[in-house]
Amino acid sequence: MAANSTLIWASLLFAIAIAIGTAFRFLSGRGHRVKTSESIDLSRLKVTKNGVLVTEFGKKATLVQFSTEYCGQCPGVRRSLSQLEYRHGSLLYIDVDITDRLDLAAHFSISQTPTVFILDGLGEIKFRIGGVPKYAIIRAELEKLGAL
């Protein structure tokens, strides 16, 4: 009787773990609109691009990727977003390494990398994606901002 009960509980926990994992995988990379009107302060990020401190946002939109040096998927995301920036002059892409910047991770509630923010031309956060972003979603959000 006790063995059957243990087997039932183990099976139930296994099924719950599978359901949670499936839901996480389905939702990861899809993102959501940000309802608050928080703007990013570039001076707080202290990001350099080509050796120069970034002080201005993109004309139409800015993509901000939060990464860590241990993130295995961040280099691929970095390449994809860099290509988007290269193809569209009104778009700026910056990568923020938060390995030693726990203050930024806490402030923006970043619990996984990569995390990508899509900002409008004034630096206001419009969309947030946790995990590897789906290209179609990034493109659709940038089109809404007139960046593509």
Per-residue pLDDT of the chain (148 residues), as tens digits, is 566 777 777 777 777 777 666 555 555 555 766 677 788 899 999 999 888 999 999 999 999 999 999 999 999 999 999 999 999 888 999 999 999 999 999 999 999 999 999 999 999 999 999 999 999 999 999 999 988 8
> Which tokens sit at 69?
């040096």
Amino acid code (one letter) for 81? L
- In this prediction the pTM is 0.79
C-alpha dihedral sign at 85, 72, 48, 108? positive
